[in-house]
Structure 1
Amino acid sequence: MKKLTTILLAACLLGTAGCSADPSAGSGNAAPKKITVAFLPNEQSTGLSKTNEMLVAEIQNALGENVKVEGIVCDDYSVVSEAILTGTAQIAWESGATFAAAHRADDAVIPLFTYGEDADGDGKGDLDHAVYKAYIATDIKNKADFEGKSRDEMFEQLLGKSFAFVSATSTSGRLVPTTSLYRVFGPDGLKKVTEKAQIFEKTAREGGLFSEVQFGGNHPGSVQLIISDKVYAGAFCCQYGDEYQDQLYIIDTIDVPNGPLWVNSDYINADQQKALINHFVNLTPENAVENFFDAENGFFYETDNPALNRFVQQPADFYDFLFEMYKDEG
């Protein structure tokens, strides 16, 4: 088993839980008395969002009354990963890339399920639809720089310009665009860079691709950097650019696997894993907590029709896409 030798756990913004690992959480096959779920901050407050509260409630329903389930809010993606690796939290939902990074550090960290649209109408999610869109875009005023060009030629147009990523550990906001750029400008492409760090950590003066690299902190922040002319281009995902469609020109679009619910199996035993999977894959608008499938405020509110979404048990190789992306990052 791969283990981190040293982990410095950053501060968490806590609701009711502390940052130290709970000794009652147990390990191995022992059933913990308390389970903590790690989340990222929401945009409205420092506490759990309504949708995160719903997820905690469903996890509680899945595991029963013999265990107490609560959520904590962590500063960023890396803190979520460290919380799971150290046992401070035992379950996480945030980010496929964060899961992939944690799994690479310790293979006791495993995915249980993700979600997909019930495109076949059979009451089950569909892994063919268990994806979301990652974008690279620029301000619409730069449209003429890209029209009529191939994808590689459009990427070349970005050289020497400023660029925004979401955060260092974001799947669609850093890992995916970095890999796309690396495949064009790396050793197997135009040989402009020899490592991915030159794309998101170094400027052109330091051997990188861009004149300046900024991080938006979240997807809306990255979009704002683009439309406010703080950067020439940048990355973001999902619906965060929808209200600015008239101001954005999309350069590239990639399908990214939806993030899983993932656990540290040293703390969540096999029976609990099975209980979680069985509960969530059978979740419907009729048996879920109130508003879970609500179109405006529910867990799937970002999708066109929340009622079509279903949780799907996670095949082991579904995140090979992300593991492959990490190979060149050390």
Structure 2
Amino acid sequence: MRVFLGLLVLVMALAGCAQAPAATTTGGNAPAAAPTAPAAATGPLVMAWYPNESGADLKDARDAFGTLISDTLGRPVEHRTTTDYIIAIESVANNNAHLAWFGAEGYVQANERNSSVIPLVIPSGSNGSVESAVYYSWLAVPRGEEDQYRDGDGFSIENIQGKRFSFVSNSSTSGFRVPSSNIVTYFGEKPEWQNLETEDLLEGGPNNFFADVQFGGSHQGSAVNLITDRVDVAAFCDSCVDNYVSLVEGTENQVGAVYRVNDDADEPFNQFPGAEFVLIAAVPVLNAPFVANSSMLTAEEIQKLQAVLTSDEVANNDKIFATQAVIDAGFRPFFRKTDAERFLVVPDSFFDPIRAMR
């Protein structure tokens, strides 16, 4: 578990450093540095979405963001839903989309392809700060199979070698980059795996690290791979399955926690009510940024978006940060309001820990 604790220290250390640039802005709402952009346009603004956020159950959540952006910039918004991470990333990097919501790995990949892709805002942690702006990368196993991963009073990833394994996408932060980096670091200390590399985790077989490797295409898809016994262990994140599962034993986002699929879960979980899984690893990950293509938006437009998104009005908008009452009424959100959640501006360097894993 020292790998996981090390990552947490790194996340918190960087978060503390990231506050300084934000604090020098007026109200924390000034735009990130951006290349010179063209004059403001009035045509449709395209927003790309990962497969995780492209489902029909999240249409109202997408529309809530579309309305907010449209009202701010006076331009209609077109939602570009996708079935593949790369499609979403390339649409922004290739100047075919103005905005997107990516994981840190997706942002880093898009920024490498096109330096005009910049972070717009990230959601804060529950206390409204950048220090707590993390979600969790899980490794989960079916309930009833967890004993083979026990290590004393806790759990270990020691026995995942040789198992059937599911990632999300090799462009996913919490569904690939973080878990693969931790696996390589952990097993690389063992003589028989000292030359293990991330690429060795992409395919399964008799001579490979895993017996079989599958990619779910989304966090929901990776979780379904586990629930349907296609794999023994799966990587996916807490926030992407939050609308479909509930904690039934243990502590949220802690090793040993047991989650169960809700009886009224939407697709693709609607066929598996009551299915349960156990966490054998839970690692904090830097919160996912909304990103902007600064060659397609003016500096003024970016500044307007950041000012509105970081406002108290948006922090209290129950279709952006949904209250429990709104959720109970049937709304499926991207973000939940548990305390003081809001959006924050961070610099590009905030995502350097993800770059360091690559």
Identity of aligned residues (%): 25
* 2:156 partner SS: helix
- List aligned pairs for 1:110-149, cutoff 5 A: 110-117=118-125, 119=127, 125-149=128-152
Contact 2:246 2:259 in 1 (8 A): yes
User: Kindly tell me: are residues 150 and 179 of structure 1, through their superposed partners in 2, closer, same or farther at Cα, counting changes over 3 Å?
Assistant: farther
1:189 Cα deviation after fit:
7.7
Partner of 1:183: 185
Contact 1:163-1:214 within 8 A present in 2 as well: yes
Matched residue of 1:309: which SS? coil
Partner of 2:65: 55
Task: Kindly indicate whether the alpha-carbon contact (under 8 Å) linking 1:134 and 1:236 is maintained by their aligned counterparts in 2.
Answer: yes
Query: Which aligned pairs between 1:183-202 and structure 2 lie closer than 5 A?
Result: 183-186=185-188, 191-199=193-201, 201-202=202-203
Residue of structure 2 equivalent to 1:203: 204
Matches of 2:38 and 2:332, distance apart in 1? 31
Q: Deviations over 1:122-169 (max 9, x none)?
A: xxx311221111101112222221222598x93231111111112222
Task: Determine the structure 2 residue equivalent to 1:318.
Answer: 350
Deviation at 1:44, TM superposition (A): 4.6
Structure 1 residue aligned with 2:114, among 106, 116, 122? 106
- AA aligned to 1:28 is A
CA contact (8 A) 2:37 2:299 kept: no
Higher helix share: 2
Q: 1:276 aligns with which of 305, 328, 333?
A: 305
2:166 to 164, 171, 179: 164
Structure 2 contact 156–280 (Cα < 8 Å) conserved: yes
Q: Secondary structure at the match of 1:274?
A: helix
Tell me, yes or no, if the aligned pair for 2:83 and 2:217 is still in contact at 8 Å: no
Partners of 1:252 and 1:311 lie apart in 2 by 28
Aligned residues of 2:149 and 2:158 also touching (Cα < 8 A): no
The 3-state SS of whatever aligns with 1:210 is coil
Question: Cα 1:149–1:325, aligned 2, differ >3 Å: closer, same or farther?
Answer: farther
State the Cα deviation string for residues 86-128 of structure 1 (Å, max 9, x = none).
1111111132221111112222211011111352xxxxx3112
CA deviation string 1:173-207 (max 9, x = no partner):
111111111112348986354421111x22243x5
Q: SS in structure 1 opposite 2:343?
A: strand
Greater CA deviation, 90-99 or 157-166? Answer: 90-99
Contact 1:84–1:92 (CA under 8 A) maintained in structure 2? yes
How many residue pairs align between the two structures? 287
Structure 1 CA distance, aligned partners of 2:215 and 2:348?
Answer: 32
Structure with the greater relative contact order (CA < 8 A, sep ≥ 6): 1 or 2?
2
Q: Supply the RMSD in Å over aligned alpha carbons.
A: 2.8
Question: Offset at 1:70?
Answer: 2.4
| Match 1:86 to one of 94, 98, 107 | 94
1:229 deviates by: 2.5
TM-score w.r.t. the length of structure 2 is 0.71
The alpha-carbon distance between structure 1 residues 159 and 149, as it changes in their structure 2 partners (threshold 3 A), is farther
- The question of whether the paired residues in 2 share the 8 Å contact of 1:134 and 1:176 is answered with yes
Alignment-mate amino acid for residue 281 of structure 1 = T
SS at match of 1:308: coil
Letter in 2 for 1:95: G
1:10-29 alignment, distance < 5 Å: 28-29=37-38
User: After TM superposition, which residue ranges in structure 1, 4 or more long, deviate above 6 angstroms?
Assistant: none
- Please list every run of 5 or more consecutive structure 2 residues that lacks an aligned counterpart in the other structure: 1-35, 248-257, 261-275
